[in-house]
Amino acid sequence: MTLKESIIRCKNAFHYKVGLRLPYNKWRIRALRRMGYEIGNDVYLPSDLKIALNFVYYRGKLTIGDRVSIAAGVIILLSSHSNSSAVSKQVTPRGDFVSIEEDAWIGAGSIIMNGVTIGKGAVVGCGSVVTHDVAPHTVVVGNPARVIRAINTDEYTD
Q: Which of 15, 81, 132, 137 is catalytic?
A: 81
Write out the DSSP string of the chain.
--HHHHHHHHHHHHHHHTGGGSSSHHHHHHHHHHTT-EE-SS-B--TT-EEE--SSS---EEEE-TT-EE-TT-EEES----TTSGGGGT-PPPPSEEEE-TT-EE-TT-EE-TTEEEPTT-EE-TT-EE-S-B-TTEEEETTTTEEEEE--GGGS--
Report the C-alpha gap between 95 and 79 in whole angstroms: 8
Report the C-alpha gap between 64 and 56 in whole angstroms: 22
15 is a catalytic site residue = no
Catalytic residue list: 81
